[in-house]
Amino acid sequence: MHYTTQMDAARKGIITKQMAIVAEKENMNKEALKDLIAEGKIAIPANINHHSLDPHGVGQGLRTKVNVNLGISKDCCNIEVELEKVRTALSMQVESIMDLSSFGKTEEFRQRLVEMSPAVIGTVPVYDAVGFYDKELQDITVEEFLKVVEKHAQDGVDFMTVHAGLNRETVEVFKRNKRLNHIVSRGGSLLYAWMELNNRENPFFEYFDDLLDICEKYDVTLSLGDACRPGSINDATDASQVKELMVLGELALRAWKRNVQVIIEGPGHMDLKEIQANMLLEKKLCHGAPFYVLGPVVTDVAPGYDHITSAIGGAIAASHGADFLCYVTPAEHLRLPTLDDMKEGIIATKIAAHAADIAKGIKGAKEWDYQMSQARQELNWDKMFQLAIDPEKPRRYRAESAPEHEDSCTMCGKMCSMRNMNKVMQGKNVNILREDT
């Protein structure tokens, strides 16, 4: 039986090869997975032209996924440096990479990325429009915006962030409700500027059906961007953010009627106490669609450490229903991330995702921690390193500070609780000041 998208297949009762792979990875019943895809509560971003893809599912009942942002900019436009980051991110087993390139040979980088990457690939086409046409933002036409979207789709991009919820109504709410940090979304600010300069409706909202034509043709998952996400905790959960979220929920229903898969994007900077309510709002207003969050960053005062502020927020968000975490690096708000920045951001976000999976009761999540605890009790260092979320760092730390006794570390020495309890439980003597006999 013919189908156009993963959602179309699911609604026709077809289990695609991508569904079968995801079901096995997630230890989930194939029929249950298919039904959730049909309802829009799970998405499998899988462009028909992404031939190297090893698919992943995002949504209800699945492991929390991690996305890494990469790409060239005007100030840092070395493609080979970015491709080295790609190779490292893939070796760290991230599920998704977004190419946020905004200058230069974006097509070359995007095509090489899709060709080499088994991870899901995402883009923000509006970033590419200015460079693609070598035209000022104001002069880009609706047709040209849509042509960039189609080019990304043809190149094999699995999901695209499109800020279609920033329509004229949302803009009026934004203007009436002043913010400390205005619109901090890069894509959102570009579209807002285009709308104001041309006195026009958002082209992606006005021509949403044309956008869906492209997504359906290539099976591109539409990631409905949050142009009005808060850029400070002061602006969180305000009228602009909630108004846009309501529009995104309506757009999700329109996309699903066309069998186009949808992910909803969310905040942003946010007070800890608001996170749970925001997760509930998204799931209610957007009909259970998968939720993709940046952070949330839970304090504004830690530049250089925003991989930590976002990991705190991400763990809370995912434990209350967020499905997909966009990593944040220590370089957030400061510079294009280096390779080391990227690695720190990945690890911090993977920790947040796993902590949330434990809280959500995802199958197998606690088993990993059980095995680590068992290895610690056995003082089995090699096994601990193998099980670590980042094996390299603990191996290096132990090598840099070798203990006198192998069954301890340089923190506790022979006072190590694991060592001494093992001895006592085995009926052996505990010699702290003297050598064992």
Q: Alpha-carbon distance 266 to 102, whole Å?
A: 22
Q: Alpha-carbon distance 272 to 265, whole Å?
A: 18
Annotated binding-site positions for Zn(2+):
269, 333
Burial (0-12, 13-18, 19+ Cβ within 10 Å), 401: exposed
Cβ-defined contacts of 143-146 (< 8 Å, 24+):
145/203, 145/204, 146/203, 146/207, 146/210, 146/211, 146/214
Residue type, 289: A
Annotated binding-site positions for [4Fe-4S] cluster:
409, 412, 416
Phi, psi of 156 (to 5 degrees): 105, 15
Residue type, 265: E
Is the Cβ–Cβ distance between 104 and 89 less than 8 Å?
no
Annotated binding-site positions:
69, 98, 127, 163, 185-187, 226-229, 265, 269, 292, 333, 409, 412, 416
Q: Alpha-carbon distance 291 to 279, whole Å?
A: 8
Is the Cβ–Cβ distance between 178 and 232 less than 8 Å?
no
Determine the number of helices (DSSP H) and then strands (DSSP E) in the chain.
19, 10
Annotated binding-site positions for substrate:
69, 98, 127, 163, 185-187, 226-229, 265, 292
Q: Alpha-carbon distance 332 to 110, whole Å?
A: 22
Block residue for tokens 């999540």: 365
Q: Alpha-carbon distance 120 to 223, whole Å?
A: 13
Helix (H) or strand (E) holding 275: helix 272-285
Is the Cβ–Cβ distance between 187 and 15 less than 8 Å?
no
Q: Alpha-carbon distance 174 to 169, whole Å?
A: 9
